[in-house]
Amino acid sequence: MSIAVSSSAGDQFSIRGMQQPPHTDLLARTLAQVDDWPVDSVAAGLIDQGKTYYAGTVDTDYRFPLASVTKPLVAYAVAVAVEEGVFEWDTACGPEGSTVRHLLAHASGVGFDTPEPQKPVGQRRIYSSAGFELLADAVEAETGIAFPEYFRQALCEPLGFGATLDGSAGHGVTASLRDVMTFVKEVLQPSLIHPSTLEEMLSIQYPELAGVVPGYGSFTPCPWGLGFEVKGSKGTAGSPGELKGRFLSAHAIGTIRINGENGVYGTTRTHFSGQLREIAFAQEVVTGPAEIWATIEGETPRAYRIQIERVSDADPRRNLVIRVTDPSLLSATGGIVQGMSGSPILQNGRLVGAVTHVLVNDPTRGYGIFAQTMLEQAKNAVQNGAEAQTAG
């Protein structure tokens, strides 16, 4: 790993071999966490006392697709449009009753990836790329400038960085770490917009709204500013990023024998009601439509549509790559969230596996494990339990 520090004059030099500035050891340890990330290209940066520290496997000009980090940059360009008089925060925009403010704060009711309303305006925080696409269309309509070009003129050119917007205004920016850190410095000390405008952007909008942070779970409330997530009270009312359940009985229903990386296995003393399902062997699982069963609200599970995008036996914990396609689940949670692990995956009416992980950079997608792998693990648990009893 290489670590560099950029002075205010823009010069770069290696941390190693220099007289270490305050907190360098702590910063180096913090940035060293990227050493073990299982990816080919990684870059990280921190700002401390006016200096920018970098780490990673690629240089600071290597360009990454920013995915949802696109949204704060686009929101900043929209703020420039507000200050230029293109429209105001409370100008009507999007579905009936919605405004620029609603769209930036994910409170317009439009869906994650569709401009069609999923909820009434101002009722729920629905994280939405489609809402930012509506904003881009509005800027383009009012200015006569294609939004990618407006984005370049309003943000990239004055800050001197090479980020580009190609495609969705909700997730289409490509930029380098140096570009992102330049933007962070702008947010810390704004030069393109008035400090009061930035203060409004970083203030919680519609503070009472509940909603979802994709990949992390539901929060009540779910604080958000204008294009910027505001952590607020997230995480103080329970474990963040989970579907939280409650026990309905104080009585044990069985014994856990294995709590491992491939699941939890044991024996039960309780008869479970419900429909029995045939289990598909691993070689019978195919790419294509399927469904997962999960309890999102209340106490009754229901089916949600997914696509199985990849089937593999290379990694026993990640036999399946799945993508959520069900609009109701995307609207409610943004996709797969922590706490859905173990949700059954069915294809053609048969049990093919269970959800194991979510892809943090794309919460609409995740991994699953074969039902056959789970059965083999359960069989091992029974055999090991019997051998332990015999030995005892």
pLDDT tens-digit map of 337-388: 777 888 999 999 999 999 988 876 677 888 999 999 888 877 776 666 555 5
Confidence of residue 6 (pLDDT cuts 50, 70, 90): very low
Say yes or no to pLDDT of 281 above 80: yes
Confidence of residue 21 (pLDDT cuts 50, 70, 90): very low
**In the predicted model, what is the mean pLDDT of residues 244-263?**
64
Phi, psi (degrees; rounded to nearest 5) at 193: -130, 160
d(CA 235, CA 228): 17
Region of poorest pLDDT, from 174-188, 201-215, 249-263, 370-384: 249-263
With 0-12 CB in 10 A as exposed, 13-18 as middle and 19+ as buried, what is 335?
Answer: buried
With vertex at residue 162, the alpha carbon angle to CA 161 and CA 166, rounded to the nearest 5 degrees, is: 135
Please give the structure tokens belonging to residue 68: 């949802």
Phi, psi (degrees; rounded to nearest 5) at 45: -145, 150
Question: Contact 176/202 with Cβ under 8 angstroms?
Answer: no
Confidence of residue 214 (pLDDT cuts 50, 70, 90): confident
Confidence of residue 27 (pLDDT cuts 50, 70, 90): confident
d(CA 291, CA 305): 4
pLDDT given at position 230: 84
For residue range 117-156, what is the model confidence (pLDDT) as tens digits? 999 999 999 999 999 999 999 999 999 999 999 999 999 9
d(CA 164, CA 113): 21
Residue of 179, 230, 202, 192 whose CA lies nearest to 45: 179
pLDDT given at position 238: 32
Region of poorest pLDDT, from 227-241, 304-318, 372-386: 227-241
Say yes or no to pLDDT of 317 above 50: yes
With 0-12 CB in 10 A as exposed, 13-18 as middle and 19+ as buried, what is 349?
Answer: exposed
Confidence of residue 79 (pLDDT cuts 50, 70, 90): very high
Highest mean pLDDT among 51-55, 135-139, 261-265: 135-139
d(CA 139, CA 169): 11
pTM (global) more than 0.75: no
**For the chain, where are the alpha helices, taking DSSP H only?**
24-31, 70-83, 100-104, 129-143, 147-151, 157-159, 177-188, 195-201, 327-333, 371-391
Question: Contact 355/336 with Cβ under 8 angstroms?
Answer: yes
**In the predicted model, what is the mean pLDDT of residues 92-109?**
97
Residue type, 48: D
What's the mean per-residue pLDDT of the chain? 83
| Residue listed under structure tokens 């939004």 | 147
Length of the chain: 392
Helix, strand, or coil (residue 126): coil
β partners of residue 43:
56
Q: CA separation (Å) from 60 to 68, 122, 260?
A: 20, 40, 39
